[in-house]
Structure 1
Amino acid sequence: MTIQMNGKIAIVTGAGGTLCSEMARNLAQQGAKVALIGRNLEKLKKVEQEITKNGGAAISVSADVTDQSQVEAARMTIINTFGFCDILINGAGGNQPDAVTTISEFNDEELNQEKGIRGFFNLSMEKFSNVIETNTMGTVIPCFVFGKDMAEKKSGVIINIASMNSFRPLSRVGAYGMAKAGIMNFTQWLAAYLAPANIRVNAIAPGFFLNERSTKLLTTPDGGFTERGGNIIRQTPLKRFGKASELIGCINWLIDDEAAGFVTGITIPVDGGFLADSGI
């Protein structure tokens, strides 16, 4: 699905990543002026160059989306360059190894700090908290900063990035799952709150897509799957991982006021059927 976004100003956070860079390129291809926000300016610049090389308009703005002052500064840069935000995609997020267990259920060995085992009681609570903050406040703050401009002009579209964890907990990733469950709830709350301002708020919940980090966790050097990767494929009816480009149709539909003008407050799985399979 393609739509016309000529003259629209789109902001994508986490735009240096595999999925969100694809979203940013898509927005630019359809005529939007795209502001790329993230902490890694080098990655953002690479995406920006790809967009401008193909005739699109983009700027890179380095900012930590959990820091309100940095997001406020990014807002001013974007306004001075392009104008006020019409479309906001909150893609910044992620996980940290020290907030992830290496086992799926309690094992007495974790109490003894055995090497090679990282259970819940071995996790870094600082990192656990960081994951929650990055994935929750990293969405809330951009909504707070850019949503106000949308409210003043009585139009706008916000798309948050949820997860399979939003619907049910997955093993090993307690902090990430907790945060993403919160994103789905926040999306519903904000959609109802901003409806009088004619702002639609929705989320997509990607299933399992390969990026630089997940490739190492889910695949082997010979092209096979790790144990966890194999489990995911078995649980996914389409029997493969998703491609970043396969999120675009859903994103475009949610943005299009004619196609989805009566759609707000929903979280759409794009997961190859993962949530539809009980595993039995």
Structure 2
Amino acid sequence: MSSGYLERLFGMSGQVAVVIGGTGVLGAALAKGLAQAGATVVVAGRSPEKGAARVREIAELGGRAVAAQVDVTRRESIDGLLRHVLQTQGRVDMLINGAGVNSASAYFEVKDEDWDRVIQSNLKAVHWGCQVFGRRMAEAGGGSILNVASVSSHLPLSRVFAYSASKAAVVNLTQNVARELAPMGVRVNALAPGFFPAEQNRKILDPARVEKIMAGTPMARFGEPPELVGATILLLSRAAGSFITGATYYVDGGFTAMRL
């Protein structure tokens, strides 16, 4: 099999990818992977400093990237991000909705403000991203959106009730939006990571909880952020993923396959 064939299948040269949440640990890994596949990547997040750092990291790998600010809790900010991308890059081919927050507590201690904050950032922002960028992609005749879900979309996890509810809804939203946009040439899929060393996990995982997770993970280890890149490129690529839409891909070391 020639390298030219693989380039046609998975290559992203000449395309523009926007990674909302690209300043985080997992988002940065996805942004780097897309850049190495040839895309120009817009790393979007709240922190200009983190955005600039991610752009430097991508440049050191030989990729092309720019940083942009976005506040996913405000629809007008996502509208502004699209305008900025079109003004500076002239097009948008791919979007990753990867921003998110978490809040851990016993169920009877869940506060309304924490619930609302998680749902706003993890679900409503994904809806806005799909609607704002999806409309532009439909007008342009095609594109691809990847929403970041979670293993908790499929299986209940203790102490993260709002997070799990939001991620389950992301899977359902992905299916519905995929159905709506498919006739317009826009594909919409979800990536569901297992347990990775992201900021949110570090905040809520104590040694006892880690031990339970490892007992339920056949591969018995945490994932490494670059291990999400292959599935991401498959789902976003024009050729390799051309007939994949409405799907949720779990990258979790076997966690969702585990049964007692």
- Global fold match (TM > 0.5): yes
Which stretch of the first structure deviates more once superposed, 46-55 or 27-36?
46-55
Partners in 2 of 1:120 and 1:215 — Cα distance?
20
Any idea what SS the aligned residue of 1:59 has?
Answer: strand
Q: Does 2:222 match 1:241?
A: yes
Partners in 2 of 1:63 and 1:187 — Cα distance?
21
Q: How many residues align?
A: 253
Aligned to 1:43: 50
Letter in 1 for 2:217: T
Any idea what SS the aligned residue of 1:36 has?
Answer: strand
Aligned to 1:142: 129
Q: 1:193-212 alignment to 2 at 5 Å?
A: 193-212=180-199
Letter in 1 for 2:256: L
Match among 164, 171, 177 for residue 164 of structure 2 = 177
Which stretch of the first structure deviates more once superposed, 258-267 or 174-183?
258-267
Shift of the alpha carbon at 1:36? 1.1
Any idea what SS the aligned residue of 2:253 has?
Answer: coil
Aligned to 2:141: 154
CA RMSD of aligned residues (A): 1.5
Letter in 2 for 1:19: L
Shift of the alpha carbon at 1:56? 2.3
Partners in 1 of 2:252 and 2:141 — Cα distance?
33
Partners in 1 of 2:60 and 2:219 — Cα distance?
35
Q: Does 2:129 match 1:122?
A: no
Partners in 2 of 1:273 and 1:55 — Cα distance?
33
Q: Does 2:107 match 1:86?
A: no
Letter in 2 for 1:141: W
Match among 20, 30, 34 for residue 23 of structure 1 = 30
Change (3 A) 1:95 1:274: same
C-alpha contact (below 8 Å) 1:87/1:157 kept by paired residues: yes
Partners in 1 of 2:24 and 2:190 — Cα distance?
18
Change (3 A) 1:216 1:124: closer
Any idea what SS the aligned residue of 2:156 has?
Answer: coil
Any idea what SS the aligned residue of 1:81 has?
Answer: helix
Letter in 2 for 1:143: C
Q: Deviations over 1:109-152 (max 9, x none)?
A: xxxxxxxxxx3333321111110111001111111111111001
C-alpha contact (below 8 Å) 1:237/1:274 kept by paired residues: yes
C-alpha contact (below 8 Å) 1:217/1:229 kept by paired residues: no
TM-score by length of 1: 0.86
Match among 10, 18, 28 for residue 17 of structure 2 = 10
Aligned to 1:188: 175
Any idea what SS the aligned residue of 1:257 has?
Answer: coil
Aligned to 2:40: 33
Letter in 2 for 1:94: V
